[in-house]
Chains A and B, each alone.
Chain A
Amino acid sequence: MLTVITLLTLGILLGFLLSNKEKIIGYVDQLTNWSIYLLLFLLGISVGVNEKIIKNFGEIGIKATILTAGAILGSVVISYFTYKLFLKK
């Protein structure tokens, strides 16, 4: 995963240099979208051939829901205190 972080950082540096080349950035966005579609398609395939995941699909959904509830509740409650402490006039 060091490769991932390295590529990300190299990208950021190159991005700084390309920041006023709107045409190139447009292509970058297009290519980004398509690589996301491709990767999600590939994730779908590996899910489809994985019996364990297919059998437990409902369970996976429940786990995801519990974690979402935690993430939203936690951030909403903390932001409530942040609002009271720092931003409310």
Chain B
Amino acid sequence: MKNSLIILTFFVFGIISGLFSLLPKFIFESDFGLYALYLLMFLVGIRIGSDITAWKIIKTVTVKIAVVPLSVIIGTLLGVGLFSFFIPSITLKESLAVGSGFGYYSLSSILITQISGETLGVIALFSNIFREIITLLATPIFAKYFGKLAPIASGGATSMDTTLPIITKFVGREYAIISVFSGTVLTILVPFLVTFILKV
């Protein structure tokens, strides 16, 4: 939550400096953003590779638990796919890309902006922040009516960190490993899936 506030603050300051032309033009006319994105992807890769605990978790869980992130992927893509018919101005592909953020709003919105432009990037930013916020707020309801996996599914990639405390509080500590596992798998998949969907 704290992190999303910091990120939103930077985003809002960006909007303000853009609106009132507070910064010299060359900043957004250069390829600066693209190189920053390259740097970010490299760093994200290092983090994924170095996270031995994540790989250890992946090794220790049974095949059965792999159905959890798989259901989150299928459910999310089915859901955004169906709901995209309510939005005539958005293509199926674009909505699938937004959904593939799984709540990892910073990375997904940056990638989508670079591939498909600012409008879809901003939709991805908001949509994925909403996913985190709704999970934080609605976890008790989801856990009560849709079973113990529901909050983990709703949290998507965030179920490994930001939404983990609230999830374990309502579905029990014995689900913490499943939650971290599902979130980790989805976090790793986000950059690949988003790029794949928009580029195919």
Interfacial residues, chain A to chain B (CB-CB below 8 A): 1, 3-5, 7-19, 21, 25, 28-29, 31-32, 35-50, 52-54, 56, 60-61, 63-84, 86-88
Contact residues on B (Cβ < 8 Å of other chain), bracket: 35 or more
Task: List, in ascending order, chain B residues with CB within 8 A of A67's CB.
Answer: 80, 83-84, 87, 90, 95, 98-99, 123, 127
Asked whether, in the complex, the Cβ of B45 is within 8 Å of the Cβ of A44, the reply is no
Task: List, in ascending order, chain A residues with CB within 8 A of B90's CB.
Answer: 63, 67
- Give the nearest-CB partner of B19 in chain A: A48
**Bound Cα distance from A87 to B86, whole angstroms:** 34
**Bound Cα distance from A9 to B44, whole angstroms:** 10
- Give the nearest-CB partner of B33 in chain A: A42
Task: List, in ascending order, chain B residues with CB within 8 A of A75's CB.
Answer: 71-72, 75-76, 79, 153-154, 156
Q: Is B161 an interface residue (CB 8 A)?
A: no
**Bound Cα distance from A37 to B122, whole angstroms:** 15
A51 to chain B, nearest CB (A): 10
